[in-house]
Chain A
Amino acid sequence: MRTKSKQKVWKKKKTIGDRISSGFIGIILTIIVIITIYPFWHVLMYSLSDSKASMGGGIFLYPRDFSILSYQLLFQTEQIFVAFGNTLFKTIFGTALSVILTALTAYPLSLPRFKGRGFFSMMIFFTMLFSGGMIPTYLLVKELGLIDNYLVYILPGAMSAYDMFILRNFFQSLPPSLEESAFLDGANAFQIFYKIILPLSKPVLAAVTMFYGIGNWNSYMDGVLYVNKSDMQLLQVYLRQLITAAGGKGALGDLSNLGSAAALTEDTMKMTVIAVSVIPVLIVYPFLQKYYTKGVLVGSVKG
C-alpha cells in the first residue's frame, strides 16, 4: 500500500514539461525502432513479393502481389535440408565443444596460483596477432585426414583466443574467497569449477556461446576449402550459390528448363536467402540477449 501511494505521489508530480519530454523521447525511440526494424521488414516483404512487381523498388510495407515462389524454389530441393542439417550440426556441436574447451582453458589461466599462466596466456595471445594462414591450415587439416570429414567443421576452429580471454577476464573478476570457502567445505577443483564458477558465469558464457554460435552459423570458407562433397555442404555456401545462380539467369544463363523459377530475379532470391539465413538467429537471440551485453561488458573491463 505504501509503495502504491508513493507511486501515486510520483505520478502527481509529473508536470506538463515532463509529459512533453516523455512523449518526445517516446517518439524518438519509436523512430529508432522503426529505422532498426524496417530494413529487415523490407527484406521480408520483398522476398514475399512477386519478382516482376518488385522491380520498381521503393518502400515495402507489405508484399506486392504476394508470392512465395522464391521460398518454394529454395525449399523444393533436398539440398537445402542437407545444407541446413550440416550447418545445424556445426552450430550445435561446434559451439558446445568450443564453449567447453574455452571454459576449461580459461579457468586455470585465471588462477593466480597457476605458475606459467603468463607464458600460456602469451602463447594464446600470439595466435591473435599471427594466424597460421590459409595454406598451412589447409595442409594441417589435410594431414589430419579431415578433408571431407565432418570433424573439420568443429575441430580446427574449436577455440577462439579472443573468447578465451573474455572468459578468463570474467573468471578473474570473481572473488577468490568463493573458491577458498568451497575448498574449505571439501570441494575439489572440478566441483569448484562446475558448481561455483560456471553458475556464476552464466552471462559471459551466454555471450561466448552467442559469439561461437553466430560464427558457426555464418561459417563459409570451411565449406569451400575443406569439403568437396555436396552432401557435406554448408548452408551459407548453398545460399551463396543460389544467389549467384539467380544472377547468372538474369544475364545469359539457361532459363529454358527453369519453369516458373525463371520469373524470379536475383534481388528476390537475395532477399529470400537473407530472410532464411537470419531468421533462425533472430529467434535465438532474444533468449540470450539479456546475458549477452552484460557478459561482454563484465568480461572486457578487467585486465
Chain B
Amino acid sequence: MKTMKKIISIIIMATMLLSLTACGKNNGDDKGAVKDAAKESGKEETGGDKGDVAKEDTSKRPKISILISGDNTPKSDNLVIQELEKRTNTDLEIIYVPSKDLATKRSTMVASGDLPDIFLAGGSEAQEYIDAGLIADVSKYLEKDGTNIMSNVGDIIYTSPMNQDGVYLIPTGNVAYGTNMNIRTDWLKNLGLEMPTDLDSFYNVMHAFTFDDPDKNGKNDTFGLAADSSFKSFDPIFGAYGIPFDSAIELEDGTVTTWAKHKNFLDAMTYIRKLMNDGLVEPEWATITNMDMFGKLWTGQAGALNFQCAGPTNNWMPARYTEDPAPTFDFAVIAGPDGKHGVKPNFALVTKGYLISADCEDVEAALRVADYCNSEEGNELLYFGVEDVMFRWIDEASGKYEYIGEYTDSATHRANGGFVYAEFMKPINNCELRTMNEQSKAGTQLAYDEMLPAVNIIRSLETRQDYGADLDQIIKEMYVAIITADGDIKAIYDEYMKRWDSEGGLEYEKEATEAWKEQNGQ
C-alpha cells in the first residue's frame, strides 16, 4: 500500500512537471493553429486563399496589436483576422477582452508601459495619454493612409479638443440611434384605433390598450406603455413639450443648464403622472429591470415601448415574441400642446475614439488597418466574415445576405471572427444599418430626423467631472419624487432644483455657458 502511494505520488509529480513544461512553451505554435483553423473552417477547399497565406513569408509584415472589447470568444487566429492581415499586409495581434473589463485591462496595460498599438479611449483618460506623450500624431499619414477615415469623420476630426496640435484621436463618428415610440399596430387594428399623433390621442390609445382587451383574449392582462425608472421611457413625451431629456439646454437668457430647468418641465411631468396614476403604464416601473421591461413587450402584456426601433421591428423579430402571430409595430410621432415633437438628440462623439500608441513600430501600418476597417468593405469583413466563404450577398443593394456552409451556425461563424469585431472602427454607413429591414431603416431615419436641438459642448467641463454624477442623481431623485408625490409637485421641484443649484449646479451653469459661447465664437 505504501509503495503504491509512493508510485502514485511520483506519477502525479511527474505529470505536473511535464504539464508545466509543455504549457510554458506555447509561443511559435500559432502558425500551426492557423493551418488548423483553415482546415477546420474548410477554407482550404472553398477559397484557396488560405494556402497562399500560409506559404507567404509573413515575417516581414509589420506587427500591430489591437485592443478590442466584446462578449464573444473568437479563436485567437481566425479566418477574419487572417483575411484582414492579408488585405492590410500586417501581422495582427488581437487582444480581445470582455466589454466590462476593457477599462481595467487598458489602464493596466498603459500603466505598465505595455500599450497596444491601437485602442479605444475617451474623455480625460485619452487626454492624459496624449499629454503624457503616449499617443502618436497621425496627421501626416491621414492623406495617404486615412482616406476612409477622412470621408467618415473628416468634418469632425479637427473639432476634437484633443486634436488641436495634431491628430491623436480618431473619432468613431457614429451617432447613436434615436428612440421611437413603438406602438402595436395589431392592437390598434383590433380596437379600431388610429396611430396616435398628439398627447390626447396617445392617452386614449394607452387607455384602450389597458382597459379594452386589445388582444381579445377576454382577460384584463394588458397595459399601455412598457416603462422602467429611466427617463428614456418617456422621451417623446418630453419631446412633445420641446424638452430634449438628459441634455444640456440653452435658456432664453443664454444660460446653459440642465434640461430639467426647461420651462415646460412640470407640464410634461404632469402628463406623465396622469398616465401613471391612471394605471396606463407598467405598474412595476420603479423596480423593473431593463430586460424584464422588454419581456412585457415580448409576452404581449405591453402595447407600446419607447426604444430604438431596431429592437422591436428588426432584431427581435420574430424570435423573442411569444404570441402567434408575432405582434406588428409602427412608430408614433407625438405632438404637444404647441405642435412640437421630437426625441433626445445624440451627437457624434469627438472626445472618444481610437488612439495609436506612440510606441507603435509602424504607425503608418496601424493607420492602414484602422482605415481599412473604417471602410464599408472592411466593415463587411468584420461584420459578416470572408465573402463567398462565410457569407454571400443575395441582394447587396437592399442589404439581403445569407451565411453559407458551416457558418450558418452562429457559434462557428463567431468563433471564426464573424461579427465579433464589427464595432472596431465602424463606419457611418455600416453593415448593421445597411442590412436592416425597410421598416427599421425608415424608423431609424425618423428618429434621427426627430432629434431635438440641444447644447453640445465639445470640450470636457471641469464642473461636469466634479459634480456631474451628483447633479444627475438629484434630477433622477426629483423625477421619482414628483411621480410618486401626492401633494404639490411645484414645491418638490423647487426643493430639488435648489439642491441642484447649491451642490455644484450653478458652477456648472457658469462654466457651460462660457464654454458654449466660446464654442460659438461669441
Q: Provide a sorted-by-A list of 27 A–B residue pairs whose CB atoms are within 8 angstroms.
A: A55-B298, A56-B299, A79-B415, A83-B73, A96-B16, A138-B108, A142-B114, A148-B27, A150-B20, A224-B98, A224-B105, A229-B76, A230-B76, A237-B98, A241-B70, A245-B72, A247-B291, A250-B290, A250-B291, A252-B177, A252-B310, A255-B315, A257-B403, A257-B408, A262-B319, A265-B320, A267-B291
List the A residue with the shortest CB-CB distance to B100: A244
The smallest C-beta distance from B7 to any residue of chain A, in angstroms, reads 15
Give CA–CA (A93, B295) in the complex, Å: 44
**A241 to B98, Cβ gap below 8 A?**
yes
Across the interface, which residues of A come within 8 angstroms of B19, CB to CB? Answer: 89, 93
Contact of B294 among A97, A250, A260 (CB under 8 A): A250
**A251 to B72, Cβ gap below 8 A?**
no
Across the interface, which residues of B come within 8 angstroms of A230, CB to CB? Answer: 73-76, 96
Q: Which of A127-167 contact B (CB under 8 A)?
A: 134-135, 138-139, 142, 148-151, 154
Q: Which of A154, A229, A249, A260 has the most CB of B within 10 A?
A: A229
Tell me, yes or no, whether A259 is within 8 Å of chain B by CB. Answer: yes
Give the total of A residues in contact with B, Cβ under 8 Å: 58
Contact of A225 among B108, B315, B432 (CB under 8 A): B108
**A253 to B315, Cβ gap below 8 A?**
yes
Give CA–CA (A238, B413) in the complex, Å: 17
The smallest C-beta distance from A272 to any residue of chain B, in angstroms, reads 15
Give CA–CA (A254, B435) in the complex, Å: 11
Type the 1/0 row for A219-243, where 1 means its CB is closer than 8 Å to any CB of B: 0000011001111110001101110
The smallest C-beta distance from B475 to any residue of chain A, in angstroms, reads 23
Across the interface, which residues of A come within 8 angstroms of B96, CB to CB? Answer: 228, 230
**B112 to A142, Cβ gap below 8 A?**
yes
List 9 A-B pairs, minimum CB-CB distance, nearest first: A150-B23, A262-B319, A245-B71, A244-B71, A228-B95, A229-B76, A52-B322, A77-B411, A135-B111
Across the interface, which residues of A come within 8 angstroms of B347, CB to CB? Answer: none
The smallest C-beta distance from B473 to any residue of chain A, in angstroms, reads 23
B residues contacting A by CB (< 8 A) are 12, 16, 19-20, 23-24, 26-27, 33, 70-76, 93, 95-101, 104-105, 108-109, 111-112, 114, 177, 290-291, 294-295, 298-299, 308, 310-311, 315-316, 319-320, 322, 403, 408-411, 413, 415, 418-419, 422, 432, 435
Tell me, yes or no, whether A177 is within 8 Å of chain B by CB. Answer: no
Q: Which of B105, B114, B319 has the most CB of A within 10 A?
A: B319
Question: Are A93 and B20 CB-contacts (below 8 A) given A52-B322, A257-B403, A266-B291?
Answer: yes
**A134 to B311, Cβ gap below 8 A?**
no
Question: Are A148 and B403 CB-contacts (below 8 A) given A263-B320, A265-B291?
Answer: no
Question: Are A254 and B419 CB-contacts (below 8 A) given A79-B73, A151-B23, A262-B319?
Answer: yes
Give CA–CA (A18, B104) in the complex, Å: 60
Tell me, yes or no, whether A76 is within 8 Å of chain B by CB. Answer: yes
List the A residue with the shortest CB-CB distance to B19: A93
**B12 to A77, Cβ gap below 8 A?**
no
Give CA–CA (A266, B293) in the complex, Å: 13
Tell me, yes or no, whether A9 is within 8 Å of chain B by CB. Answer: no
Question: Are A224 and B316 CB-contacts (below 8 A) given A77-B73, A96-B16, A266-B291?
Answer: no
Question: Are A233 and B310 CB-contacts (below 8 A) given A149-B24, A259-B410?
Answer: no
**A135 to B23, Cβ gap below 8 A?**
no
**B23 to A241, Cβ gap below 8 A?**
no
**A228 to B93, Cβ gap below 8 A?**
yes
Tell me, yes or no, whether A200 is within 8 Å of chain B by CB. Answer: no
A residues contacting B by CB (< 8 A) are 52, 55-56, 73, 76-79, 83, 89, 93, 96-97, 134-135, 138-139, 142, 148-151, 154, 224-225, 228-233, 237-238, 240-242, 244-245, 247-263, 265-267
Give CA–CA (A265, B297) in the complex, Å: 13
Per DSSP, are chain A's interface residues mostly helix, strand or loop, or mixed? helix
**B320 to A78, Cβ gap below 8 A?**
no
Across the interface, which residues of B come within 8 angstroms of A237, CB to CB? Answer: 98
Give CA–CA (A239, B200) in the complex, Å: 48
**A149 to B410, Cβ gap below 8 A?**
no
Question: Are A259 and B299 CB-contacts (below 8 A) given A93-B19, A151-B24?
Answer: no
Give CA–CA (A252, B178) in the complex, Å: 12
Contact of B290 among A151, A231, A251, A261 (CB under 8 A): A251
Give CA–CA (A255, B419) in the complex, Å: 11
Give CA–CA (A229, B75) in the complex, Å: 8
**A89 to B299, Cβ gap below 8 A?**
no
Give CA–CA (A247, B299) in the complex, Å: 17
Contact of B319 among A149, A248, A255 (CB under 8 A): A255
The smallest C-beta distance from A62 to any residue of chain B, in angstroms, reads 20
**A149 to B310, Cβ gap below 8 A?**
no
Give CA–CA (A245, B73) in the complex, Å: 10
Q: A148-B26, A244-B100, A251-B311 are in contact. List 6 more A-B contacts (CB 8 A).
A: A52-B298, A55-B299, A89-B19, A139-B112, A149-B23, A240-B98
The smallest C-beta distance from B252 to any residue of chain A, in angstroms, reads 37
Give CA–CA (A278, B491) in the complex, Å: 52
Across the interface, which residues of B come within 8 angstroms of A254, CB to CB? Answer: 315, 419, 422, 432
**A55 to B99, Cβ gap below 8 A?**
no
Q: Which of B97, B112, B290 has the most CB of A within 10 A?
A: B112
**B104 to A225, Cβ gap below 8 A?**
yes
Across the interface, which residues of B come within 8 angstroms of A76, CB to CB? Answer: 409, 411
Give CA–CA (A232, B319) in the complex, Å: 33
**B310 to A257, Cβ gap below 8 A?**
no
The smallest C-beta distance from B379 to any residue of chain A, in angstroms, reads 13
List the A residue with the shortest CB-CB distance to B74: A230
Contact of B16 among A97, A232, A241 (CB under 8 A): A97
Give CA–CA (A135, B316) in the complex, Å: 42
The smallest C-beta distance from B490 to any residue of chain A, in angstroms, reads 36
Give CA–CA (A201, B159) in the complex, Å: 69
List the B residue with the shortest CB-CB distance to A143: B112
Across the interface, which residues of B come within 8 angstroms of A261, CB to CB? Answer: 410
Q: Which of A78, A230, A244 has the most CB of B within 10 A?
A: A230
Give CA–CA (A238, B177) in the complex, Å: 29
Give CA–CA (A25, B294) in the complex, Å: 45
The smallest C-beta distance from A195 to any residue of chain B, in angstroms, reads 9
**B315 to A256, Cβ gap below 8 A?**
yes
**A134 to B295, Cβ gap below 8 A?**
no
Across the interface, which residues of B come within 8 angstroms of A55, CB to CB? Answer: 295, 298-299, 322
List the A residue with the shortest CB-CB distance to B93: A228
List the B residue with the shortest CB-CB distance to A225: B108
Give CA–CA (A245, B415) in the complex, Å: 14
Across the interface, which residues of B come within 8 angstroms of A252, CB to CB? Answer: 177, 308, 310-311, 315
**A150 to B298, Cβ gap below 8 A?**
no
Give CA–CA (A263, B410) in the complex, Å: 13
**A149 to B26, Cβ gap below 8 A?**
yes
**A231 to B403, Cβ gap below 8 A?**
no
List the A residue with the shortest CB-CB distance to B12: A96
List the A residue with the shortest CB-CB distance to B96: A230
Q: Which of B298, B408, B410 has the most CB of A within 10 A?
A: B410
The smallest C-beta distance from A232 to any residue of chain B, in angstroms, reads 8
Give CA–CA (A91, B97) in the complex, Å: 22
Give CA–CA (A250, B105) in the complex, Å: 26
